[in-house]
Structure 1
Amino acid sequence: MNTAGIRSEAVVVEQTAESATDEGPLPGMADPRSIAPRDARELSRQFFQRLSGLDEGTHAYQYARNTLIEMNMSLVRFAAGRFRNRGDDMEDVVQTGMIGLIKAIDRFELSREVEFTSFALPYIVGEIKRFFRDTTWAVHVPRRLQELRVELAKAREELSSRLDREPTTAELATLMNITENEVVEAQLASNGYNSASLDAALTGDGPEDGEAVLADFIGMEEEGLRLVEDFQSLAPLMAELSDRDREIIHLRFVEEATQAEIGERLGCSQMHVSRLIKRIIMRLREGMLGELGCA
């Protein structure tokens, strides 16, 4: 047992107790972080009492505030331990919890007649939860939907155990006291919590199964994309046509008029319209094939 450390802590406690009634300098501490949580609670009360009488920005104020932070770091580690299985770097979680501890110290008042630990823990846990809410979602969704996702998971678990089956949207909406549309919205928002790369490797169960990637199993060839490319290539060729040729193309392929109807509008025979259409299409085809050949 480290008797020297115990004696050192005892001296610190004794000196601090004296400083609570004496307006002299605050006692020095070699390492406030090494103070046991039980002693830290008592010392924190005395330091808060002295802190309330000090002017902000003074050396004594900064020393008292910093000492309170270091003495109560065990609260942050305790709160962070609840989130150990979330898969994030615990150092980041602890650093985030420290923000909550500092806020609690700056807002704590002895007149509340409540233990500082009870006052600080909600601040610390709140900052950590905010950290997960803001950083762990793969796709950003509104806070309302993030909170609704948690409530939805609780409702689904409760109803599944009660009904011994997967609950319906209507049953979830009734239990959560929201509309069915809101339930569906929360379910869709839940898809944004996790993400996976399309290049993520997937390995089959059997030795004959080769390695594949996620992109091989989702998505499909969109035929419309080819049309987009064709339209982009066709646009400058259409611009080179005469007004009459563009009108003929528009009447035939947009308004879907017959050759006879086009002839009536242009004042020519159906046979002449047929020859004009073939000539125009041939010209456009040659232009398109020419661009492909250059590419």
Structure 2
Amino acid sequence: MDKVLNTNIKIVNKLFLDGALTPTDLIGASLKKIGETKQFNAFITVTKKEAEKQAEMSFERFKAKQPKSDLDGVPIAVKDNFCTKFIKTTCASKMLENFTPPYNATVCQRLTDSGAVLLGKTNLDQFAMGSGTVDSIYGPTKNVWNYKEQSEDFFIAGGSSGGSAVAVASGVCFGAIGSDSGGSTRNPASYCGVVGLKPTYGLVSRQGLIPLVNSMDVPGILARNVDDVVSILNAVAGHDQQDSTSLTKPFKKIRLPPSNKMSIKGLKIGISVSVEWGG
């Protein structure tokens, strides 16, 4: 099953459609993997009962040949600064350690509506104020690379979405939601060797994301490859009337061409240059 956990969302979806794999088996493997990788401290809350229930519902949809989307039955993790209905949302802080929201953040609701399975809430720097996922009341998240169990030294996972990055890098889930104000998705993605996307401000709703900087906060996406990031973005992007800053222009789902037909013609890369002015 580890081999399946290290594939991609489209392959898993095909396995579900062909009957070669069931969502319940996949979620069982993901939950087992969480137990096997708990030394990395990626999760604050593991939503075992909810995940098993969602996997059963997904299994029934595939039996009826009525999956909701490519994400149906796919395990996803969510950073613990996004509100999740009746599931603790702590921001890795003492202040909110017992806070249980009565509603889902729009991103979480759209993942649920697409059939994705919530594995749990991931670790972060308190209130997303940090860049290492070391400032959490639940302890630091440790990078999966070069980890030595008998040593007190460890590589940091980056932050503040380090728990989400490690959950993906360790093979527990296919994708995770982070947040990004000044690098909090891209930073841990680079540290952990996964893909991290900070979407254009307003493309993905901030409703239900506990704010750090309202004018800069953006829900981010982490996955092991670009194709999986696109699948998740397609599920969560688009206007939300509950977020006055969300873009009103209709979102057209992204379709990546086959890799052998991709072209970098016309691509522009910006390079930041420091300039010293004479006095």
* Greater strand share, structure number: 2
Q: Which has the higher contact order (CA 8 A, sep 6+)?
A: 2
Is the TM-score greater than 0.5? no
TM tier relative to shorter chain: under 0.3
TM-score, scaled relative to structure 2:
0.24
- Tell me the TM-score normalized by structure 1: 0.23
Which structure carries more helix by proportion? 1
